[in-house]
Structure formats: structure tokens, C-alpha cells
Amino acid sequence: MSEGIESILTETRVFPPFPNLVPDAAISGMDAYHVLCQEAERSPDDFWARMARENLNWTTPFAQVLDESKAPFYRWFADGEMNVSANCLDKHLNTPTADKTAIIFESDDGQVSTITYKQLYQRVCQFANGLKSLGHKAGDRAIIYLPMSIEAVVAMQACARLGIIHSVVFGGFSSKSLHERAVDVGATLVITADEQVRSGKSIPLKSAVDEALAMGGCEAVRHVIVYNRTGGPVEWNERLDLWMHDVSANQPEECAPVPLNAEHPLFILYTSGSTGKPKGVQHATAGFLLWALLTVKWTFDSKDTDVFWCTADVGWVTGHTYIAYGPLAAGLTQVVFEGVPTYPNVGRFWEMIQRHKVTVFYTAPTAIRSLSKAADSSLEFHPREYDLSSLRIIGSVGEPINPDAWMWYYTNVGRERCPVLDTWWQTETGGHMITPLPGVTPLKPGSCTLPLPGITAAVVDEAGDVVGPGKGGFLVIQRPWPAMIRTIWGDPDRFVKSYFPPELKGAYLAGDGAQRDADGYFWIMGRIDDVLNVSGHRLGTMEVESALVAHALVAEAAVVGRPDATTGEAVVAFVVLKRSLPEGEEAVMIARQLRDWVAKEIGPIAKPKEIRFGENLPKTRSGKIMRRLLRVVAKGEAITQDVSTLENPAILDQMSQSH
């Protein structure tokens, strides 16, 4: 458990909903919320069928709602057909939304371009027609490795239009991570860019694709389509490579959306689990889009006049649900940002909110914590120096937000007039699960409050029995919901094992510890497995360990998390080298080498903050690494546990030195 937990549990501040937000909220008042919850509880099938009929356009209406016959491989609306892209774009065509701005794109260097819904529709259709002419079709898998751009949204929407299953890989991942994912999905298509731009620097992307393909095993890839972002140098492979603008050129501006079964996989997105290999979380067409749209409506209380800005990257689930799909299905104007919050200065977010008159702002606690620190030291870029009066809702996602960060966000960004929505969810859940609602929920700093209607969240013990208020336990979702993960791509056994352990009586195991307070509010206590959350990014300790032991110098490695004031958790690696214990300058040098190695193997986000060397790892006599002890050592705390079962207790002193 992290250090912040105690202060969370003694938190007593409550902020009632702002009266101006209640009357015309999508869910207006606690009574309306309860009515929906009760409707969902009384007859879940009728509730979800009503939602799916009212919110989605179907080419073949469904008759069946939930199919539990192969539980936990649940199927939703499985005899219906629809198309996600048609539900995001075509449905706006003959409405006033057609000429509304869909995306305001701001590049790293501050240039702004906009695209209307009609234009976006045409761009998506042209690209989809291009893909079709190259022979790509429903059921094929495409890797998308693109920077934040209108093109990334176009690529995802074009895939959805044709039924090509996309797997977006975050641009910060290494060629090796990219390779692993391309092989696992059996990609036949890669869509990338020459380079990406961050903080004024160009970083190559296409060359990482070249490297990944050269590693072998991706021979099924028939085309690499390249978005010309910077005009930077690329090596060109005549057999595979095509420019994105050439693929779209001269293609018709209409492309019939392919009617797809509701259960057709929309995308596969890799996330870390408790083994070394990332899991390909598979989401289905209709259920995912239904929840993306409903949660935009409910949680963000979307209005036609909103300017919505989710700062996530499309490489993460937040960028799927709350950039590429949800806001478009809701017909919102949204900001898409290429850069980073600290360039050209730490006021970038606030300046952009002011410039684009953002009304709904959604970001991560890490950004809030680091920007609050920065604002205190560079007062010129403090949020109070900007006009943020357009904001009406501010949200947080990805990791626990500690009460201090919550209060800073609430006071300095929301100016005490915007609710802070602490949204708890996961790659696997498809969209928000437990979150305050602007017109409903009294807020408590540090709590994600109450589940959305239809979501049966509970805290249970090891036997699957619900525990009482104030007692810690496992966070579970007791009944299936339409946007849930369908399976792990290519590994159904791991799906069942990871999420539906037999003792939990069929409930979905989220992998987080939680407790409820006397008001039924949920307080998330962090992961219960070997997964870390660094700056809101999920990282498996085993993934980092595998990367470390792949280095020629390393014999053994154990990775744990330690609380960090900015990044939430930081990676600490305990390493045994194949050679003698390094000291002084040499140790610092090897630690640097290993950090760079991990960045190259996985991506910079996985770089250990600290590396500690020892002649051995602390193990029990049966050879099990004592991670619990390593966590204590990583925090710099004194060991109070009994270490008599350790094979070599002296090792703990050695390991307490950081490099």
C-alpha cells in the first residue's frame, strides 16, 4: 500500500454538486441516478437493450442481449450488426453537426488546424477506400504506430469502417515492443509516420517499424503506410512502403461502412499483466462504442457547445475511448494535442484551455502533480495567470489522485466551480466504471465515488464474499457489462485465469485493492498484483525484469515499485551482475547502461528510477524472491519483519544503496 492511503481514509471533506450543473445534466440529481441503477438491477437485459437501441444505429437490429452460454466469454447484442465509424461520422452527415468542428489539432509548435465532421468523414472514407484497394479487409489486423494527430484518428476510424482490427502501439514504445505486438496480432498492415515531434525535437518512428520488421516473424505485413509528419529522413522499402497521402489520393469521398457483427473485434490493445508478456485486450464493436458514447454523455455530461479535451495519447485506452471514438459518436468538438504539457513552458495546458475555450478537461494525476510543482516554482505559468473561465468539468484518470493533488486541481484549475471527476476504469473495462457524475455526486477528494448505472462494483474477500464498509478487499464487477474485455487475443486461458478466478463466483477481478466507506464510496488502494502504475502507465514488474536479464551483464533482477511524489510509483530494480559487485563510479555507469537498455527494450517509460546492486537477491530457503522485503528496502525504511527465513539476510544491507 502506498503512503497516501492513510490520509485518504481520514479524508472528511465533501463537496456537493454545483447547483448550476444539476438541472440540465444528463443524469440530474441523485434520485435520477438511483432510478437508472434500479432499472439496471431489476432487469439488466432490458436496461442494456434500451441503451443500445437508443444510442446506436444498427444495420441489423439485435434480438438477443446478453449471451452467457460460454461464460466468462460473454457476448452482447450478438445477432445485431452495425458499424462503429458510421456511428461516429455518417450519423452526423445530414445534421447541423456535419459542419461543426470535429477536431481542433494543436501541434507541438503551436500551429492549429481544424477539421469539420463532414471533412473528417471524407478523409476517413478516402483512406478506407485506399486500404480497400490494397486488399485490406474485415478481420485483418493493423498495427497503428502514429503520433497524436488527425491522421491517427483517421487511421483508427478507417480501420473500424472496414472491420480491420487495429492495435495501436504507443509511439514511446521501442521497436522490440512493437515487434512483439505485431507478431502477436499477426499484422498484415502497419500505419506509421516518418517522425513524431515532442518538445521541439523530432523522434523517428518509421525506422522503429523497419527495425521491428527486420527482427523477423512479421512476414505477413504487406504494407507499411507512412504519414508524412515532418518530411524527415526515412529509408524506403519499395516492396512495402506507401505514403498515407498517396493511399488516399484520388479516392472517392464516400466509402460504404461494412456492417459488422456486434461482437466483431474492434481493436486489440496491449496492456501489462503479472507475467512478462503483455496481454492483448480484445474489445468488441457494439458494446465498446455503446459505453464510449454513454460515458461521454453521463460522466462528462456532454453538451453540443462543449469543447472537450482529453490529454491522453491514442496509444492508451483513454485515447481510444475518449478521443478516437466517444467524443465523435457524441458529435463533440475536441482538442487533439501533439505535444507535452511542459513545452514550450509549464503553462502549455492552461494556455491551450484559454486559447480553445475548453469546457471539459480530462488529464492524469501525474500531470496534475508535476504541473502543480512546476507552477509553484515558475509563478508566471501558474494556472491563475490564465483565463480558465470556459471550464465546467475537470477529470482525472489512470491512477489514484491523492487528496492534495485533487485540492490543487479543484482550486487552481477548476477555480472551485468545476467538479473534479476521478474516473476509475481500466483497459479491460472499455470505459468509466466508478466515477462521480456532475449533476449527481457529492465529491470527496481521493475517492472515485460511486459506480455508473449498470455497473455492479463490489469489494470482496478471498472467498468472493462482500466485505463491509472500511474493510479492504479485491475490487470486482459482479455482472458482465457490454464494454468488457472479450478475451486476451490468442490466449483464452490467460483471460479466464487473470480475470475470473474460480473462488470469486463468476465476478470480474479488476486487479485493484479497494474499500468502501460508510456512504458506499469506493477508495482505490492500488494494484494487488505485480503491476506498477508509473505516471498512469501500467507496467508489469516481470516485463522490466525480463528486459534486465536480457542484458549481457545481468544474472538476476527483481523489480518493485516505490511511492513517488510525482509519478505515483517509481520503478526500483535490484540487480545481480554476472561479475563482481560494482562500486562507486563504475556502479553509476553500469546503472546508466542498464537504464538505457530498458528504454531500448521496452520504452523510456519503463526506465528504472533506481538500480541497486547486490551479490544476491533476498530469497527464502526455497528460492522465492522476497519482494515484500525489497519493497521495504526500496522505500528506504527499516526492516521490522522477521528475516530468519532468508537464505542470506546480509544481502539486505547491500541492497539499500541506490545508484
Q: Which of 87, 192, 248, 533 is close enough to bind ligand PRX by CB under 6 A?
A: 533
Is 170 within 8 Å of 316 (Cβ atoms)? Answer: yes
Please report how close the Cβ of residue 35 comes to ligand PRX at its closest, in angstroms: 25
Site string for ligand PRX, 374-403 (x = CB under 6 A): -----------------------xxxx---
SS3 readout for 298-313 = HCCCCCCCCEEEECCC
Instruction: Check residue 512 for interaction with ligand PRX (CB under 6 A).
Output: yes
How many residues belong to the site for ligand PRX (CB under 6 A)? 21
Please report how close the Cβ of residue 506 comes to ligand PRX at its closest, in angstroms: 20
Q: Is 160 left (phi over 0), alpha (psi -120 to 50) or beta?
A: alpha
Measured between alpha carbons, how far is 171 from 156 in angstroms, rounded to an integer? 15
Instruction: Check residue 530 for interaction with ligand PRX (CB under 6 A).
Output: no
Is 114 within 8 Å of 103 (Cβ atoms)? Answer: yes
Stretch that binds ligand PRX, among 220-228, 366-374, 380-388, 416-424 (CB under 6 A): 416-424
* Nearest CA-CA partner of 5 in 525, 561, 566, 533: 525
Q: Which of 317, 532, 542, 575 is close enough to bind ligand PRX by CB under 6 A?
A: 317
Q: Which of 157, 174, 302, 426 is close enough to bind ligand PRX by CB under 6 A?
A: 426
Please report how close the Cβ of residue 395 comes to ligand PRX at its closest, in angstroms: 9
Stretch that binds ligand PRX, among 202-210, 292-300, 420-428, 488-496 (CB under 6 A): 420-428
H or E, element range at 335? strand 333-337
Instruction: Check residue 313 for interaction with ligand PRX (CB under 6 A).
Output: no
Instruction: Check residue 422 for interaction with ligand PRX (CB under 6 A).
Output: yes
Stretch that binds ligand PRX, among 198-206, 233-241, 346-354, 425-433 (CB under 6 A): 425-433
Q: Which of 190, 448, 452, 634 is close enough to bind ligand PRX by CB under 6 A?
A: 448
Nearer to ligand PRX, 97 or 427 (CB): 427
Residues whose CB falls within 8 Å of the CB of residue 23, separated by 6 or more in sequence, listed in order: 439
Q: Which of 5, 524, 633, 646 is close enough to bind ligand PRX by CB under 6 A?
A: 524
Instruction: Check residue 5 for interaction with ligand PRX (CB under 6 A).
Output: no
Instruction: Check residue 527 for interaction with ligand PRX (CB under 6 A).
Output: yes
Measured between alpha carbons, how far is 256 from 236 in angstroms, rounded to an integer? 32
Measured between alpha carbons, how far is 385 from 345 in angstroms, rounded to an integer? 13
Instruction: Check residue 423 for interaction with ligand PRX (CB under 6 A).
Output: yes
| Residues 357, 363, 365: CA angle, nearest 5 degrees | 140
Cell of 331: 458529435
Instruction: Check residue 167 for interaction with ligand PRX (CB under 6 A).
Output: no
Span 580-619, contacts to ligand PRX by CB under 6 A: none
What secondary structure letter does DSSP report for 202? E
Q: How far is CA 386 from CA 343, 352, 353, 379, 406, in A?
A: 16, 10, 9, 11, 19
Instruction: Check residue 318 for interaction with ligand PRX (CB under 6 A).
Output: yes
Instruction: Check residue 427 for interaction with ligand PRX (CB under 6 A).
Output: yes
Instruction: Check residue 229 for interaction with ligand PRX (CB under 6 A).
Output: no
| Residues 131, 135, 140: CA angle, nearest 5 degrees | 85
Closest-approach residue to ligand PRX (CB):
427
Q: Which amino acid is at 378?
A: S
Nearer to ligand PRX, 50 or 494 (CB): 494
Q: What proportions of the chain, in percent to the nearest 5, are helix, strand and coil?
A: 35, 25, 40
Classify 586 as helix, strand or coil.
helix
Instruction: Check residue 511 for interaction with ligand PRX (CB under 6 A).
Output: yes
Please report how close the Cβ of residue 484 comes to ligand PRX at its closest, in angstroms: 13
Q: Which of 132, 283, 479, 538 is close enough to bind ligand PRX by CB under 6 A?
A: 538
Site string for ligand PRX, 269-308 (x = CB under 6 A): --x-------------------------------------
* Nearest CA-CA partner of 75 in 66, 88, 63: 66
- Burial classification of residue 647, based on how many CB atoms lie within 10 Å of its CB (0-12 exposed, 13-18 middle, 19 or more buried): middle
Classify 385 as helix, strand or coil.
helix
Nearer to ligand PRX, 347 or 414 (CB): 414
Q: State the residues that interact with ligand PRX by CB under 6 A.
A: 271, 317-318, 397-400, 422-427, 448, 510-512, 524, 527, 533, 538
